[in-house]
Structure 1
Amino acid sequence: MNAKKIFSLLLALFGEALIVFCFLHFGKNVQTEILILNIIVSTIIYCLVFVDFIFPWVNLKDKSQKQIGSIGLRWFFTFFYLILAIGVMVIFNTVKPIHFTNQIIIHGILFFLVLLGLFLAFSSSDKVREVYIEEKQNRDRIDEMKKATKELQLKIDAMNNIQSDIITRINELQEDLKYLSPSNSSAAFELENQFVNEMRSLTDCFFDNPLNYEKILSNIKNCERTYKERKQVFSN
C-alpha cells in the first residue's frame, strides 16, 4: 500500500471518528438504539461517498474502461440512497418521530435498493468488458492477417528477381487489409484463419529453390479469393 492510500485510509478513519463523536455529543437525548442506527446509516453513506478516494472506481490502466459504462448508474443509486437516508433520519427523528423498528425497516429497504444499484452497476461493467474483449479479439484476428502478409513482404524484399506483378499483388493485398472491418461472425473467424494459413503457405513457396511461380500464383489467387469472401462478411 503506497503513501497516498495510507493517508486516504487514515483520513477516512478520522472522518468516521468525527461522525461518531458528533452523534454521541449532539445526540445525548436520543434513544440509544436509534442513535446507534443513525451512526450505522451515516457510516454507510460516508463509505459510499469516500470509497472512491481510496479505491477509485475508474481504473485508467484498464483498457476496457468497463467502469465508465456504469459509473452513471452507480452514482444515481448512491445519491438516491444518500438523499433518502438523510431525509429519513431527519424527518423520523425530529419532525415526525416513529418507532425504532419502523426506522430499521425503512433503512433496510433503502439499503437493499442501493445494494441492488451497485449490483446492476457491476453487471453493467462486466458487460462493457465482455464487449471490449470480443471487439479486441475481432481486431486481433485482422491484425494477424496483416502480420502474415507483412512477413511475406519482408521476405520478398530480401530476395532478388521476383516478378513485379507478384510484388504488386502482395502489396495490394496488404493495402486492402487496412479497410477490412472486424466481424463477430463465425464465418468471418473461419475465413480469417483460412487467410492466415494460405498466406503462410504462400510464404513457404518463396523458400523453394528454384521458385515455382505456378504454385506461387495459385496461392496468391487463394489469398485474394479468401480476402474477397471475408470482405463480404459483416458483424451479426
Structure 2
Amino acid sequence: MSSMTRNLLIDLVMWVAVSVASYVATAGVFLLCGGSFTPEIKSAVFTLRDGTTIEAHIHEEYERIRNEQRGNIAAARAEFDKNRSPRRLIVPATALMLVLMLGYVVLQERAKLRQWFAVGPRSVLLGLVGGVGLVALEWVHDQVLTWLGVTRFDYAEFLRESGGTFAVAFLGAVAAPVAEELYFRGRLHDLVQNRFGVVAGVSATAIVFAAVHGVPQYLIGYAVMAVVFSLLRIFTRGLVAPIIAHSVCNLIVLSVLSGS
C-alpha cells in the first residue's frame, strides 16, 4: 500500500469518526436541552437534577412562548417548533466537526503552514476577485436550474431554522473556509498531486468537495467552486487566496439569503 493510499484511508476514517462524534455529541445536548426528533423521543422521560422531566420543561417553555404571543396559539406553536427543530443541530455539529478536522490537518501538515499562509497583495486581490466571480457563477447556475425546472435547495429556509444568522455567517464565512481549504486545497490536493499530477489533484478535490456538501442539485456548482479554489491555490502557491475567495462567496450569498 502506497503512502498516499494509507494517508487517504486514515483521512477517511478520521472524517467518519469526527462526523459521527460531532453529531452524536450535539444531538445529546439537543435532547437534554428539551429538543426532539419525533413524538416518541419527545415523550421519553429524562429525569433532571431537580426531579422533574424534560417533558415538563418542554411544556413550560411552550406555555411561556404562548403567553408571549398573547394567545396566538398558531404563532406560538410555530416559534416553539422552530426552536426545537433538529436542523438546529447542523450548525453546532458542523462547527465542532470543522474544529476537530482543523486540528487534525494542522498536526499532520504543520511543516507546510508557513508556506500555505504566506500573505501577499496578489493573493488577497485574487481571492477577492475569485469570490465575487463565484457569486456571479452561482447566480448563473441558479438561473439554469430554474430554466431546467429543477427544484432548488431552500437555503433561506435552512438559514431561518438552523440557529441564527450570526452563527451561520460565522460558520460559512470564517470556520468553513479555513478548515475546508486547509484540507481540500491543502492536504488532499498535495497528497493526490504528488502521486498523480496537477490534473488529478484538482479533479479529486473537486469530486470530494462536491460530494461532502450533500446537495444533489448543486453537485456541479460545488465542483466548479472547488476547481476555482484549486486554481487559486496553484497560481498563488498558498491557501490565502482560496480561503478569501471561499469566505467572500459564502458571505455574499448568506447576506442575500438573510435579507430574503
Q: Same fold (TM over 0.5)?
A: no
Greater percentage in helix: 2
The structure whose RCO (Cα within 8 Å, separation 6+) is larger is: 2
Q: Using structure 2 for the length normalisation, give the TM-score.
A: 0.26
Q: Rg larger in 1 or in 2? A: 1
